[in-house]
Amino acid sequence: MEMSGEYKINATREKVWAGLNDPEILKQSIPGCEEIDQTSDTSFTAKVTAKVGPVKAKFAGSVQLTDIDAPNGYRISGEGKGGAAGFAKGGANVQLEDDGDGTLLKYEVDAQVGGKLAQLGARLIDGTAKKMASQFFENFAEAVTEGEDGATDAPAAAAPAPASAAAGQVTAMSQVGAGTWVSGLVVAAIVLFALFG
């Protein structure tokens, strides 16, 4: 399954970019994030506790940023393991665009999930990813616009839409991000870091 979407943040593109590359802001923003470390200019490791349906696990993994075009966007890819809960790997494209007095963050994620997570089905994983993405964006916008009025607008588009599922594996977008996320780590950050982190 794949997910994509966009979210408006009432901050400059440069400020949003800086937030997406700040481990402390990402840690505050990613639901269940216990630890996030920047291991190089383009990579992060994270530990996230997440619950997807009846499966609750601690995920550990890493993400790598590539195709970096500061402050316009990048590609985030990662992988992680949650013990018996399963594994996840995949990536997300993140784009930042000026939008009036704010920034429109667009993302497209695709990931493969295996183990118990894959057995839960696309609908449950989609629902959890959407919820985590929404929480990530609320937290992220608040952290990036701390001290400013009107941190965010509602999601600029409809909720991320699931696409398809393959037998035995579920392909999903990422906020873990992952991250890291999203990545950030965008919904991409959150989903990538949540699933890969």
Say what the pLDDT of residue 35 is: 93
Domain boundaries, the chain: 2-196
Q: How confident is the model at residue 142 (pLDDT cuts 50, 70, 90)?
A: very high
**Residue 179 vs residue 170, higher pLDDT:** 179
Considering the domain delimited by 2-196, tell me its CATH architecture. Answer: 2-Layer Sandwich (3.30)
**Average confidence (pLDDT) over 114-140:** 81
d(CA 154, CA 160): 13
Cα–Cα–Cα angle for 88, 129, 45, nearest 5°? 45
Question: Do the Cβ atoms of 194 and 30 come closer than 8 Å?
Answer: yes
Check whether 1 has a pLDDT greater than 70. Answer: no
Residue 151 has pLDDT above 50, yes or no: no
Span 117-134, mean pLDDT? 78
pLDDT of residue 157: 38
Q: Is the pLDDT of residue 78 over 60?
A: yes
For the cut 50, the answer to whether the pLDDT of residue 150 exceeds it is: no
Q: Is 62 helix (H, G, I), strand (E, B) or coil?
A: strand
This prediction has a pTM of 0.74
- Residue 74 above 90 pLDDT? yes
With 0-12 / 13-18 / 19 or more C-beta atoms within 10 angstroms meaning exposed / middle / buried, residue 28 is middle
pLDDT band for position 133 (cuts 50, 70, 90): confident
Helices and strands (H and E) in the chain: how many: 5, 8
